[in-house]
Amino acid sequence: MRKIILLFAVGLLALASVLVFRTLQNGPAASSAPVRVPVEMIQVDAAQTAAHLSQAIRFKTISTQDRSQFDPAVFTAFQQWMAVSYPDFYAAVTTQTVLGSTQLNTWTGSNPALDPVVFLAHQDVVPADSSKNSGWEKPPFAGVIEDGFIWGRGAIDDKGSLIALLEAANVLAASGYQPERSILFAFGHDEEVGGSGAQSVAALLKSQNIHPWAVIDEGGAITTNMPDVAAPVARIGVAEKGYLTLILTARAKGGHSSTPPKITALGELSRAIAAVEAHPFEQKLDKVTRAMLRVTASADEIGFFKRLVVSNLWLFGGVVEAQMKQSNSGAAMLGTTIAPTIVHAGTKENALPREAQAYINFRLASRD
């Protein structure tokens, strides 16, 4: 019995030694501190920036699944406003229109031997219901500025990024700044429905044998209450999920709602949607999410206990996965997501639809 207890104690000590050793390997070290190069920060007018974003939101640059509803005149008006609002930027760049409404702006650098940097943003937004009981606290296309916030469709996705780029670049251009490396600003018009504008820009650059040194996109969400850092963290995206939308169609006999069949098209479609949602994809850590967590494990903001957990995912992986599943953003990092988004059926309340359709959007993890 004493030997068993001794062996157990030795094993426990060995385990603790391994855990602590791996944790210390990920700890912040003075020798690994990044070299900080002094950067002169530009100053922008915060009130003017907010006003510009508010004005940008008022342009209903909407992308819909039905491409016939696309209104190029709104995008033209928006781009005219951009040119008037940011005159120094547009005086410094060469502007091309790609695929009708996508804009490619090239700020030519002084050293043509250097590959350019590309900044991406998109002008379009998804539709928003402006009716009284739509759930919006403020009108979605009014650009209300209140209590330190700018309200409206596109304030984050993605006119916030678009205006930030324009504000910074306009200040630099007004100062006489000349980049050494060329800078390209690509502003897509249909990112929300497939991004054919961005694809056309990529094809154009390829045809001109232009190979970007870096491409900076709009970025992802700011996570909170994650296993590594509870505070808000702007994650660096190192991979992107795939995109797939499937359409489920159910058909049944039509007729009057007073004499419905046992199985209606809508009822059958509802059961199909429920069945899809009842079979989620596996949610687990993979090499990408593990690497992401390991990177933040060396940050000063991480306490020893959290660093120990994140540094030893071989043992605590299940605990970390359970915590990530507590939030929608955390769960989404663990695998493919399933989201029914659109349902079409019926045209009158007392008439049975012959057909019902549902759109189900999947964001595909690389392993799936």
Short-list 155, 164, 190, CA closest to 89: 164
User: What tens digit of pLDDT does each residue of 93-115 get?
Assistant: 999 999 999 999 999 999 999 99
The answer on pLDDT for 221 being more than 80 is no
DSSP per-residue string spanning 286-309? -HHHHHHHHHHTTSTTS-HHHHHH
User: What tens digit of pLDDT does each residue of 248-274 get?
Assistant: 999 999 999 999 999 999 999 999 999
Do 233 and 198 lie in one domain? The reply is no
Quote the number of domains for the chain.
2
Q: What's the rounded mean pLDDT across residues 295-307?
A: 78
Q: What is the CATH number of the domain that holds 58?
A: 3.40.630.10
Beta-strand runs (E) in the chain = 94-98, 102-107, 117-122, 145-146, 149-150, 183-188, 214-216, 222-223, 233-234, 242-251, 255-256, 337-345, 351-352, 355-364
Instruction: Give the torsion sign (CA, 79, 80, 85, 86).
Output: positive
User: What tens digit of pLDDT does each residue of 198-216 get?
Assistant: 999 999 999 999 999 999 9
pLDDT at 145 (0 to 100): 97
The answer on pLDDT for 189 being more than 90 is yes
pLDDT at 305 (0 to 100): 81
pLDDT at 366 (0 to 100): 87
Whether 191 is catalytic: yes
pLDDT at 310 (0 to 100): 84
Q: Which two tokens stand for residue 33?
A: 């501190």
Q: Of 158, 167, 191, 321, which is the active-site residue? A: 191
The answer on pLDDT for 30 being more than 60 is no
Which residue has better confidence, 66 or 60? Answer: 60
Please give the mean pLDDT across all residues of the chain.
90
Domain boundary among 219, 245, 279: 219
Do 206 and 241 lie in one domain? The reply is no
> Cβ atoms within 10 A of the Cβ of 88, count?
16
Which residue has better confidence, 266 or 135? Answer: 266
Boundaries of domain holding 106: 46-219
Residue 132 lies in a domain: yes
Reported residue count of the chain is 368
pLDDT above 90 coverage of the chain, percent? 65
Q: What are phi and psi of 354, to 5 degrees?
A: -80, -20
Do 254 and 127 lie in one domain? The reply is no
Q: What's the rounded mean pLDDT across residues 228-241?
A: 79
pLDDT at 307 (0 to 100): 84
Instruction: Answer whether 344's CB lies under 8 Å from 357's CB.
Output: yes
Q: What is the CATH number of the domain that holds 248?
A: 3.30.70.360
User: What tens digit of pLDDT does each residue of 268-291 get?
Assistant: 999 999 999 999 999 999 988 888
- Which position has the token pair 């079409």? 344
Q: Of 124, 167, 218, 321, which is the active-site residue? A: 124
Residue 83 lies in a domain: yes
